Amino acid sequence: MVRPLEYDSEYLTVVMDGLAEQYDIPIVVDRAALDELAIKLESEVTISVREITLRSALNLIFREPGLEDLAYSVQDEVLLITTEERRDARLTTRVYRVDDLLDLQLSQGKETEAYPDSLIDVVVQCVEHDSWMENGTGDGDIQYLTPGMLVVSQPRHIQRQIETLLQQIRRTKRTIAQDRRR
């Protein structure tokens, strides 16, 4: 945060305008999405925080009474304020390199990858469980592609969670390898 974020019963529009100015970023409100849920731009926001990220500030603002269904995403070079339902409806596809997380096995003199069922299961079970087609409750999809790639279709906020999980697994795997060498 460039400066403390302090608002006492201020309209959501005023808070968003302040954030846009403070961070020098364009913020666009999806008025149609807000209208669908009868969320008013005149909803009041009370927040007093310092030294936190914009992401955390937005998450706190969207916990305010009447704003719980709001969400944000970066789309078309703007910070879009919309509803969770609209944000989650927009899937993006990313390819993750995961060969370093898979157990490689020797087969007929060549290295071959073990099918990454366990890695896929971990992602599907630990990241937004209800968002996956595989669980019968969402639109997200995950597929393995040789050599060592996961192809994932999910909204961006879930993609960030997947990326974080894969980074944590990598760090832990390195720690285990270091401990075994001692």
17: pLDDT strictly greater than 90 = yes
pLDDT band at residue 115 using 50, 70 and 90 as cut-offs: low
pLDDT of 113 = 56
pLDDT of 108 = 52
Distance, in Å, from the CA atom of 16 to the CA atom of 13, rounded to the nearest integer, reads 5
Six-digit token pair at 39? 């969320």
Cα 173–Cα 179–Cα 182 angle in degrees, nearest 5: 145
Residues 80, 73 contacting (CB under 8 angstroms) = yes
pTM here is 0.63
Residue spans of the domains in the chain: they are 5-88, 91-181
pLDDT of 106 = 44
Q: Give residues with Cβ within 8 angstroms of 107, minimum separation 6.
A: none
pLDDT digits (tens, 9 = 90+) for 144-178: 998 889 999 999 889 999 999 999 999 999 999 89
2: pLDDT strictly greater than 70 = no
pLDDT of 1 = 61
Compute how many other C-beta atoms are within 10 angstroms of the C-beta atom of residue 64. 16
Chain mean position to CA 30? 19
| Poorest-pLDDT segment among 80-94, 98-112, 133-147 | 98-112
pLDDT digits (tens, 9 = 90+) for 85-100: 888 778 889 999 999 9
Out of 3.30.565.10, 3.55.50.30, 2.60.120.380, 3.30.40.230, the CATH code matching 5-88 is 3.55.50.30
pLDDT digits (tens, 9 = 90+) for 29-71: 999 999 989 998 899 999 999 888 888 889 999 998 989 999 9
pLDDT digits (tens, 9 = 90+) for 74-87: 878 889 999 988 88
Helices (H), the chain: 12-23, 31-36, 54-61, 84-89, 117-126, 156-181
Distance, in Å, from the CA atom of 70 to the CA atom of 172, rounded to the nearest integer, reads 34
Distance, in Å, from the CA atom of 85 to the CA atom of 82, rounded to the nearest integer, reads 8
